């Protein structure tokens, strides 16, 4: 019984810890997809020489701190996918999956408002 209590305390302590993530976008194009009610509604590419790619790269560099490990499953919403990673923006949270781990960070929708496909309102 003491072991179970210790595990609960440890899990609670770890869930509140934040860490720095030193993630950079891989070279090459990225995929941007939008999902509504479980259905993909729009998909497009983000080329490495585009303003969207550069802005996302800068956002990742300036938001290296404050990430939390997470085991929660998140519904896809606005997802950027590249070689070995995906980054899901869902309302006020960013969910980064890479290197076999998942991390979350609180965000504002204005942090990712530039991620749009041509013709997407």
| Alpha carbon distances (Å) from 39 to 35, 95, 98, 111, 116 | 5, 19, 23, 24, 17
Of 63, 49, 48, 46, the residue nearest 114 (C-alpha): 46
pLDDT tens profile 35-82:
998 888 999 999 999 999 999 999 999 999 999 999 999 999 999 999
- What pTM does this model have? 0.81
Mean per-residue pLDDT for 94-100?
95
pLDDT of residue 4 exceeding 50, the answer is no
pLDDT-derived band at 17, boundaries 50, 70, 90: confident
Query: Cα dihedral angle (11, 68, 22, 80), rounded to 10 degrees?
Result: 130
């Amino acid at each position: 019984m003491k072991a179970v209590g210790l595990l609960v305390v440890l899990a609670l302590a770890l869930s509140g810890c934040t860490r720095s993530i030193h993630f950079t976008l891989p070279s090459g194009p990225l995929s941007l997809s939008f999902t509504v009610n479980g259905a993909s509604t729009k998909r497009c590419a983000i080329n490495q020489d585009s303003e969207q790619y550069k802005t996302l790269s800068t956002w990742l560099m300036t938001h290296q701190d404050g990430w939390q490990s997470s085991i929660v499953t998140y519904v896809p919403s606005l997802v950027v996918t590249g070689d070995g990673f995906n980054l899901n923006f869902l309302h006020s949270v960013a969910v980064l999956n890479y290197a076999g781990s998942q991390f979350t960070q609180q965000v504002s929708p204005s942090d990712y408002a530039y991620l749009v496909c041509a013709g997407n309102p």
